[in-house]
């Protein structure tokens, strides 16, 4: 577990340094192997099911095999036809994708409105040397942008660069992206896999998995006859836990974050590789969590909430509202990452009044708030210490709440709600009299921050 600041030299190919790949005029096809990727998920499931079935019976059932074979062939045929009728081209800074055999559809994506292009390579795509480009458009949060599934993985970076360049060339206003040509910066960090593994084991998810595993082993050792039923009964639960564990490991493995002019670029993946760009202006809230079991190592986790990604996409990794910027890392590194998002960091310098101890004995030692013209920071959390940073500009509504215990102690809380459902800042258990002024002040600050 050395430091996360591994020099970037080790992963030069992973840097966004690919030169733009010129897109020739005229229509292009996707990669011929694309149907395999699209049908891949179904194929894998089918093959596994087939294997299970024939293993259980001891010998393959040829009739069933032929039946399943037909299904596979049909799946592939559908994929091939859909590949045959799909083509794309770039004309005047617009990406056009035409697809459909019976119902032709032609989609136009003005590249000047593209906010970011994500590159995703599922396990099957990777084994075939392919990758998928996903366009993230401005303002179309629900419908989702276009996708090119799939192109050669080696070309993906270059294609991405040239699509972005085409968008910039046609953009009406020369935006901040002028320094695009500048040498790419090295990543802020690269996640160490051992550290990730240890940290996941020490998280709630890891502990649940370990406990469940121990329980299964114990039942098998102590009472083999009962074991079968117990294992069978809990298999759905186990599947859920394992899926979560896999998703987390896969999504955060080898994560590297790079600052680009478009935003923060996140690269990660064990089986499924993804490159995702988060525009800093879309970040609604940032939080830093320090779970109790990580404290001996001085580790913490940084997560951001991103607006407008309500639709959960099929593939994990992208499409989540809450995204880990730093799955695990030192506090110092976490501060640096937060500072990338929030350029004017306020310190949580005003602790809660002493009597808040009676209301919140566990979190009292941490309760604190701080703010400046543009951001508010709050610290709370019972077992884990959690910092929340919220840009005042993004605050959706303010709520002042006082429960019966708080009233008896002369305390109260203010909630600053931000878009999304997983994060919001709470100025918890503050002095009630001062809170009245605080509410007026925060409302005024938010109003001022909203106006450019």
Partner 1 sequence: MTVPNSSDPTGWHRPSARLLRLRRLELLGVALPLLIVAVAVPLAVGAQTVATALGLAVLAGSVVTERVLHRRFLAWGYAEREDDLLVHRGVLIQRLSVVPYGRMQFVDVVAGPFERAADLATVHLHTAAAASDARIPGLPTGEAARLRDQLAARGEATAAGL
Positions touching partner 1 (CB under 8 A) are: 282, 284, 307-308, 394-404, 407, 415, 417-421, 424, 436, 439-440, 443-444, 446-447, 450
Of 362 and 440, CB closest to partner 1: 440
Residues in the chain: 452
- Find the helix or strand (DSSP H, E) in which 67 lies: helix 62-84
* Residue among 125 and 283 whose Cβ is closer to partner 1: 283
Q: Which of 419, 440, 286, 433 is nearest to 355 (CA)?
A: 433
Shortest spacing between CB 143 and partner 1, in angstroms: 16
Per the CB < 8 A criterion, the answer to whether 168 and 175 are in contact is: yes
Between residues 113 and 274, which has the closer beta carbon with respect to partner 1? 113
Closer residue to partner 1 (CB): 190 or 388 = 388
Q: How far is the CB of 415 from partner 1 (least distance, A)?
A: 7
Closest by Cα among 272, 265, 424 to 340? 265
Closer residue to partner 1 (CB): 97 or 306:
306
Cα–Cα distance, 191 to 2 (Å, whole number) = 10
**Cα–Cα distance for residue pair 382/132, rounded to 1 Å:** 42
- Helix boundaries (H) for 187-262: 193-201, 204-222, 224-233, 235-252
Q: Least Å distance between CB 195 and partner 1?
A: 33
CB of 429 to partner 1, least distance (A): 14
Which is nearer to partner 1, 7 or 404 (by Cβ)?
404
Cα–Cα distance for residue pair 275/121, rounded to 1 Å? 9
Nearer to partner 1 by Cβ, of 185 and 421: the residue is 421
> Which CB atom, from 409 or from 419, has the smaller least distance to partner 1?
419
Please return the burial class of 120, using the count of CB atoms within 10 Å of its CB with bins 0-12, 13-18 and 19+: buried
Nearer to partner 1, 127 or 422 (CB): 422
Count other Cβ atoms within 10 Å, centred on residue 224.
9
User: What is the arrangement of strands in the sheet containing 94-99, beginning at the earlier edge strand?
Assistant: 87-91, 94-99, 105-110
Q: How far apart are CA 285 and CA 422, in angstroms?
A: 10
CB of 447 to partner 1, least distance (A): 6
CA distance 296 to 302: 18
Least distance in Å: CB of 146 to partner 1?
Answer: 21
- Burial category of 344 from C-beta neighbours within 10 Å (exposed 0-12, middle 13-18, buried 19 and up): exposed
Query: Which of residues 120 and 419 has its CB atom nearest to partner 1 in the complex?
Result: 419
Q: CA 315, CA 402: separation in Å to the nearest integer?
A: 42
Instruction: Give per-residue burial for 228-255: e unless 16+ CB within 10 Å, then b.
Output: eeeeeeeeeeeeebeeebeebbbbbbbb
**157 vs 438, which CB is nearer to partner 1?**
438
3-state SS of 298-364? CEEEEEEEECCCCCCCCCCCCCCCEEEEEEEEEHHHHHHHHHHHCCCCCCCCEECCCCHHHHCCCCC
Measured from the Cβ of residue 108, the count of other Cβ atoms closer than 10 Å reads 11
Is 66 exposed, middle or buried, given 0-12, 13-18 or 19+ CB atoms closer than 10 A? exposed
In whole angstroms, give the CA distance from residue 10 to residue 1.
16
Q: Between 330 and 406, name the residue whose CB sits nearer to partner 1.
A: 406
Shortest approach of partner 1 to residue 402 CB, angstroms? Answer: 5
């Amino acid at each position: 577990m050395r430091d996360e600041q591994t020099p970037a030299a080790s992963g030069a190919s992973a840097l966004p340094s690919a030169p733009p790949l010129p897109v020739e005029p005229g229509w292009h096809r996707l990669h011929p192997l694309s149907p395999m990727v699209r049908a891949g998920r179904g194929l894998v499931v089918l093959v596994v099911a087939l294997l299970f079935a024939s293993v259980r019976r001891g010998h393959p059932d040829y009739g069933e095999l032929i039946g399943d074979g037909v299904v596979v062939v049909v799946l592939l045929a559908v994929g091939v036809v859909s590949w045959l009728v799909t083509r794309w081209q770039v004309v005047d800074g617009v990406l056009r994708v035409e697809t459909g055999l019976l119902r032709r559809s032609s989609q136009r994506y003005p590249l000047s409105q593209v906010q970011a292009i994500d590159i995703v390579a599922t396990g099957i795509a990777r084994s075939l040397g392919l990758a998928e480009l996903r366009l993230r458009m401005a303002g179309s949060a629900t419908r989702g942008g276009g996708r090119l599934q799939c192109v050669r993985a080696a070309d993906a970076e270059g294609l991405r660069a040239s699509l972005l360049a085409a968008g910039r060339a046609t953009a009406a206003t020369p935006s901040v992206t002028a320094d695009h040509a500048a040498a790419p910066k090295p990543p802020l960090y690269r996640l160490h896999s051992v550290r990730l593994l240890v940290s996941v084991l020490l998280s709630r998810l890891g502990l649940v998995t370990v406990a469940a595993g121990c329980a299964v082993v114990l039942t098998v050792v102590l009472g083999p006859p009962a074991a079968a039923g117990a294992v069978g009964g809990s298999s759905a639960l186990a599947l859920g836990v394992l899926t979560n564990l896999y998703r987390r490991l896969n999504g955060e493995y080898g994560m590297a974050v790079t600052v680009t002019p478009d935003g923060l670029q996140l690269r990660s993946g064990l089986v499924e590789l993804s490159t995702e760009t988060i525009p800093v202006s879309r970040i609604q809230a940032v939080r830093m969590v320090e779970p109790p079991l990580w404290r001996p190592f001085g580790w913490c986790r940084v997560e951001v909430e991103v607006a407008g990604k309500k639709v959960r996409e099929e593939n994990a990794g992208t499409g989540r509202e809450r995204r880990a910027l730093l799955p695990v890392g030192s506090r110092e590194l976490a501060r640096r990452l937060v500072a990338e998002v929030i350029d004017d960091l306020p310190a949580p310098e005003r602790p809660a009044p002493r009597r808040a101890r009676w209301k919140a004995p566990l979190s009292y030692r941490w309760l604190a708030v701080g703010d400046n013209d543009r951001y508010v920071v709050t610290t709370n959390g019972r077992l884990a210490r959690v910092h929340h940073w919220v840009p005042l500009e993004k605050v959706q509504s303010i709520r002042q709440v006082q429960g019966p215990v708080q009233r008896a102690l002369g305390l109260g809380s203010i909630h600053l709600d931000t878009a999304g459902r997983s994060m919001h800042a709470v100025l918890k258990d503050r002095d009630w009299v001062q809170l009245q002024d605080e509410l007026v002040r925060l409302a005024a600050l938010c109003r001022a921050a909203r106006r450019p």
